[in-house]
Amino acid sequence: MNLSEDVLKGIETLSDEKLINDSVFKHIIDTCFLVILKKKTESDLFDNKAVSSVDTIALKQTFSAFIVFILESMKINYDQSSISDLLEEHKLSSSRIDFISNYFKEYRVAIRKHLSVTNFHFPHIIDVNWRLDLFMKSNAVEKLNTPVYLINLTTEQEENVKGKVQFAATLDQLQDLVFKLRDAQKQIERSSIKS
């Protein structure tokens, strides 16, 4: 794992029990993991009273360094023992290593999942609702009897921005859409077999 000197220095700062006491240490680690999962923001780092005794610049450096460390290790799916070894190399005590390891155990899957859907362009479909309607009459035609599917897609962009895509489709149009989706699915299966 390629980590810059700044990141390694920041991790080493976490081993300094005089500069960063246990309550501050726990608060930093907790905030780092929850910021990545967007359950907290960076400003929450300074909400803890214990943090006031720590130099702000050192605190920010340590925080950003550990965020990078989490992201880099999750990007390559670094295993628990390798993470522990790296932390040990940078002088962290066994109790602090255990504390960090527990966080990795708890949030590994969630962070990996979160990283896999991090997207800067297109929204993701998070929900699909459909309804089948039968139109019987209209102002123009006395007898219609036309089946129409209404599709409602709920999308999500980064920062939890939700959107809606709504459209109507005839049976033929819907079948065409289903065939195209199946075709895409087959292509994915083929490419995953190759890799």
Residue from 3, 8, 110, 148 binding other proteins (CB under 8 A): 148
Indicate the pairing of strand 146-157 with strand 161-169.
Answer: antiparallel
Minimum CB separation from other proteins for residue 48, in Å?
45
CB 170 within 8 A of CB 147: yes
Q: Which stretch binds other proteins (CB under 8 A): 29-37, 38-46, 80-88, 129-137?
A: 129-137
Using the rule CB under 8 A, is 180 a contact of other proteins?
Answer: no
CB count in 10 Å sphere of residue 52? 10
Closest to other proteins by CB, 84 vs 154, is 154
Contact status: 134 vs other proteins (CB under 8 A): yes
- Both tokens of 9, joined, read 């220095």
CA distances from 177 to 2, 126, 151, 163 (A): 44, 18, 12, 21
The total number of residues written for the chain in this structure: 195
Q: Which is nearer to other proteins, 113 or 131 (CB)?
A: 131
Q: Which residue has the tokens 């923001």?
A: 41
Tell me how far, at minimum, the Cβ of 135 lies from other proteins, in Å: 4
Answer yes or no whether residue 193 interacts with other proteins by CB under 8 A.
no
Tell whether residue 130 is a contact of other proteins (CB under 8 A): yes
- Report the residue from 133, 176, 183, 189 that binds other proteins according to the rule CB under 8 A: 133
Per-residue contact track with other proteins, 70 to 109, x per CB under 8 A?
----------------------------------------
Q: Are 131 and 150 in contact (CB under 8 A)?
A: yes
From the CB of 139, what's the least distance to other proteins, in Å? 5
Are the C-beta atoms of residues 64 and 71 closer than 8 Å to each other?
A: no
Nearest to 62 by CA among 12, 122, 112: 12
Contact positions vs other proteins (CB under 8 A): 128-140, 144, 147-148
